[in-house]
Amino acid sequence: MKLFLTILFALFLRSAFGFENVLFQGRDVRFTESPLANGRAWGWENTVNLQAKLFLPKTSLNGKQFAAVILLHGSGNVQEEREIDYAKKLANKGIAALVVETYDSRKNNSSSSLTRINSVSALAQVSDAYSALKYLSERSDIDSSRIATMGFSMGGYTGYYLTDVSMKNLLSETKNNFAGHISFYPGWQITFLDPHPTKAPLLAILGGVDELIDLEDAKKDIASRIKAGAKIELHIFESAAHAWEFNFSKRFDATSPNRKNCRMHIKPNGGLVWRETGNTNEKCQQFGYTVGQDKQAQEAAEALAFDFLNRIFN
């Protein structure tokens, strides 16, 4: 027992952060073709208590308030080896980390990714990010000018959505703005019809053989958004697929939904319109993509992410 306590105490000393479960108010909004209700998204009146895990460093980078990163999970929900692992690494580097649980907050922890995707709108996570920004900005230990997002897959797509003024107008209850966004292997099928970028830079890291994304389509959209004033850094790992942090060997998952071809535009008022006339989710949805551990991609992506945070926070 004495040896066990000694080891436990040593591990505690090595961890330069504390942990707590927190709750704050969010909105259960949805993407729709006609979303506006008094200038807000459809479902704005449906409030929800958002669950999140907050990792707080013991000391900050500058000895004052903490910079913070909001971690946004993929359609597979929060993963220990991904969102939680990054949260711990961030906290150990003196950056607060908030892991927001978009599905579990809405009592949707189904084992089926298709059930989760169909029952909880992707826009809900965008709204959750703004709610998290408001929550963190109101904390006395957080520097409200240094709050960024880091998202994976669906969460990475959320980071992309957050770079447009139309989303802030539709979903935000705070005057504070994000310092930047990191998007790991997002899809890129839903783009802005008339982009009005925010000032926050976006770091996008994509897999060159990820079946969930049309790379050429993404490059065209990025060029269009940069022309409109967006600050986007794009990195493509040529041999990488999807979710390279996962702890199982890379494999083709034939059962998971793939909406690569479900191409839509976000209108300036936040509504959606199909890019191809007559399309529906039923027509465009496929199944299957390659997913699993890729240590080389993981290490390279992590280095890029922390370099980006260092630049925008300092």
pLDDT in tens, 236-289: 999 999 999 999 999 999 999 999 999 999 998 888 999 988 888 889 999 999
Does some domain include residue 5? Answer: no
Task: Decide if pLDDT at 136 tops 50.
Answer: yes
60 pLDDT exceeds 70?
A: no
Q: Is residue 9 a part of any domain in this protein?
A: no
Among 37-41, 118-122, 193-197, the range of highest mean pLDDT: 193-197
Instruction: Judge whether residue 109 has pLDDT over 70.
Output: no
Residues ≥6 apart with Cβ < 8 Å to 76:
113, 153, 243
Residue 74 tokens read as 């993929």
The rounded distance, in Å, linking the Cα atoms of 29 and 43 is 4
Task: Determine the Cα–Cα distance for residues 187 and 238; give it in Å rounded to an integer.
Answer: 16
Query: For residue 4, is it within any domain?
Result: no
User: Is residue 207 assigned to a domain?
Assistant: yes
Q: How far apart are CA 180 and CA 203, in angstroms?
A: 8
Whether 298 is covered by a domain: the verdict is yes
CATH at 290: 3.40.50.1820
Long-range pairs, 269-275, Cβ under 8 A, ≥24: 269/35, 269/36, 269/166, 269/170, 270/35, 270/36, 270/41, 270/166, 270/167, 270/169, 270/170, 271/32, 271/33, 271/34, 271/35, 271/36, 272/31, 272/32, 272/33, 272/190, 273/33, 273/193
What is the rounded CA–CA span in Å between residue 314 and residue 311? Answer: 5
Number of domains present in the structure of the chain: 1
Residue 3, in any domain of the structure? no
Residues in the chain: 314
Task: Classify residue 10: in a domain, yes or no.
Answer: no
Residue 219 within a domain: yes
- Specify the pLDDT at position 124: 94
CB 232 within 8 A of CB 202: yes
Q: Identify the helix (H) or strand (E) that includes residue 89.
A: helix 85-92
The whole domain housing 299 covers 16-313
Q: What pTM did the predictor assign? A: 0.91
